[in-house]
Amino acid sequence: GTGFIVDKSGLIVTNSHVVDDASKSYAVVLNNGKTIYDVKKIHVDESADLAIIEITAQNLPVVEFGDSNNIMVGQTAIAIGNALGRYQNTVTLGVVSGVARQLKASDGYGNSKVYENVIQTDAAVNPGNSGGPLLDSAGRVIGINVATTIGAENISFSIPINTLKPIL
Query: DSSP labels for 1-54?
Result: ---EEEETTTEEEE-GGGS--TTS--EEE-TTSS-EEE--EEEEETTTTEEEEE
Cα–Cα–Cα angle for 159, 61, 78, rounded to 5 degrees: 40
What integer pLDDT is reported at residue 35 of this predicted model?
A: 82
Q: For 68, phi and psi rounded to 5 degrees?
A: -70, -10
Q: Are 152 and 121 in contact (CB under 8 A)?
A: no
Q: What is the pLDDT of residue 151?
A: 73
Report the C-alpha dihedral over residues 107, 111, 116, 120, rounded to 10 degrees.
20
pTM for the full predicted model:
0.89
Mean pLDDT value across residues 2-10: 94
pLDDT at 109 over 80: no
* Distance, CA of 116 to CA of 113 (rounded, Å): 10
Whether residue 108 has pLDDT greater than 70: no
Provide the pLDDT for residue 40: 93
Per-residue model confidence (pLDDT) at position 88? 80
Cβ neighbours for 55, distance < 8 A, ≥ 6 positions apart: 10, 12, 28, 37, 38, 39, 40
Region 146-162: mean pLDDT is: 85
Question: What percentage of the chain carries pLDDT values higher than 90?
Answer: 58
Which of 96, 84, 121 minimizes the C-alpha distance to 2?
84
Q: What is the pLDDT of residue 3?
A: 93
Catalytic residues: 17, 49, 130
